[in-house]
Structure 1
């Protein structure tokens, strides 16, 4: 570990597909599926996956070199697996859990669950695994109060387990022809996060008062729209200490703007590795400690550090 780089103890948002999960994707004939190292999704152009990005030894070496104690990896929700018919998706989710739980330190696992046929009993069993830090759900399953109510059995299990929810963009709709490859990440992904944050703001906390929840990619910057929210008759209200905002794909200006609205205590580091690399916002040592260490610890455990 370089002496110039202090330990970055937690990364709350990464993706790493173990070999057995890769094999399961290659065995499929319908979306999502892999052909060799090319990923095919219903709404996006074929994506060339880099083999080195899912080489467990290489990824582990990178995490240890950066002083990582926890790197929380998840099933990538844009794959659409959580939205598959229950019988079809359950097998892939089982493979994800079984293979990801075999990853070495410092990797930990975000659980996955079907949103077409929620099974709180199966989730309860998985959440009992010590290496499972919580549940990731696609933002496309948390679009309004009715959707949050429908997933209430899963969210209730999380509350009982004392583990958090990570909200991640879900599958993108078919991209109109001629648009650049970054379109899904900048348009549907961001709008999905924005919508799910507003749905949670409207009714989520009332229904699940003890649940810690984190939105990746700073919730699509949804809290920055608080002035427009007020102008249209809504209100941001008191900052919720159990809502967290993960930083992946954003840098100093966006992070600083979010801190001015929601404060520093809810900002947690996540890289979205291998699709992006860790960002150092350069906002001072106290901020670095909060975002890379203290805040992730509180998100994942519910306890101050």
Structure 2
């Protein structure tokens, strides 16, 4: 089976809930308003379930709550997370989902319940909740539940902080998102793996290319890099040069295909290692 480990698809119930909000994040018609990004004009077709289903060639597609919305960090975000779970579980095949969880007030009991669902692949957390050893310790109850369930963690960019002045629309994806992924990868290798020795974890967007800094890490007194068979690197928005460079460091068995659709398109399976689409995701998801 061919996998796409990372897409976003907003069910109608989630769209309606975002339109009812007055505080960010919220939708006005199809314009998305976020604290740290310019207003974004959402393409309605991108969240048309039947249109997306018809466009799929993967046998299993994992969709997730868009962590840059900041819902997981919102003290009142639990209701939206519940709406996400209920509506995403009703999506037709090939769509399965990553669970979400509040990182403002972690609720391991709620996570335990949703992880029992067969269509739930694992848990997605924002990189902004995993950016230091202390941050990882704070979400320890969620990670413990996840590890006990035998399901993996997906680390996704979180909300971008508000910045002064006008910035181009691509800025969050290329600057704060990449930095968040880099930081969460470093924190995981410093503190996360020691606390969760068997937890499988995948970093979106090749972990912001963090593995390519292993020589500098060593030169500056950090721990020597050793490839971890339970750490995976998802490909979204990257192509040949970056994927090949990361695979040389971490090994090709650690790379899993994810597209980040509708923000980027899937890779051509005939142009890349077949295991990125099949065997490697299957090992991540088990």
Q: TM range, normalised to the smaller chain? A: over 0.9
Q: Quote the offset at 1:238 in angstroms.
A: 2.0
Which of residues 72, 92, 114 is equivalent to 2:80? 92
1:4: which partner in 2? none
Query: Aligned residue for 2:9?
Result: 16
The correspondence for 2:36, drawn from 39, 43, 58, is 43
Once the two structures are superposed, residues 114-148 of structure 1 have per-residue CA deviations (whole angstroms, 9 ceiling, x without a partner) of: 00110000000000000000000000000111111
Is 2:284 the partner of 1:299? Answer: yes
Counterpart CA distance in 1 for 2:158 and 2:130 is 10
CA RMSD between the two structures: 1.1
**How big is each residue's C-alpha offset from its partner over 1:52-77, in whole Å with a ceiling of 9 and x where there is no partner?**
000000001111xx2x1110000000
In the aligned structure 2, how far is the partner of 1:182 from the partner of 1:176? Answer: 16
Provide the secondary structure at the position in 1 that maps to 2:123.
strand
Residue from 138, 154, 179 that aligns with 1:166: 154
In the TM superposition, what are the counterparts of 1:57-136 in structure 2 within 5 Å? 57-63=50-56, 66=57, 68-85=58-75, 88-136=76-124
Given that 1:224 and 1:258 are in contact with CA atoms closer than 8 Å, whether structure 2 keeps it comes out as yes
Residue of structure 2 equivalent to 1:212? 200
Per the TM alignment, residue 283 of structure 1 is displaced from its structure 2 partner at its CA by 5.4
**Does the residue aligned with 1:25 lie in a helix, a strand or coil?**
helix
* Range with greater deviation from structure 2 (171-180 or 265-274): 171-180
In structure 2, the residue matched to 1:256 is 244
Secondary structure of the corresponding residue to residue 140 of structure 1? helix
TM-score of the aligned structures, taking structure 1 as reference length = 0.92
Consecutive unaligned residues in structure 1, runs of 5 or more:
1-7
Q: Deviations over 1:21-71 (max 9, x none)?
A: 0000000000000000000001101000000000000001111xx2x1110
Contact kept, 8 Å, 1:113 with 1:119, in 2: the verdict is yes
Q: How many residues are treated as equivalent by the alignment?
A: 286
Change (3 A) 1:264 1:283: farther
Distance 1:115 1:260 in 2: 34
Cα distance, 1:281 vs. partner? 7.5
In 2 relative to 1, CA 279–166 (structure 1 residues): closer, same or farther, beyond 3 Å?
A: same
State yes or no: 1:226 paired with 2:219. Answer: no
Indicate whether 1:26 and 2:19 are aligned: yes
Matches within 5 A, 1:128-147: 128-147=116-135
CA contact (8 A) 1:175 1:183 kept: no
- 2:275 pairs, out of 286, 290, 296, with 290
| Preserved contact between residue 138 and residue 169 of structure 1 (Cα < 8 Å) | yes
TM-score (norm 2): 0.98
5+ unaligned residues in a row in structure 2: which ranges?
none
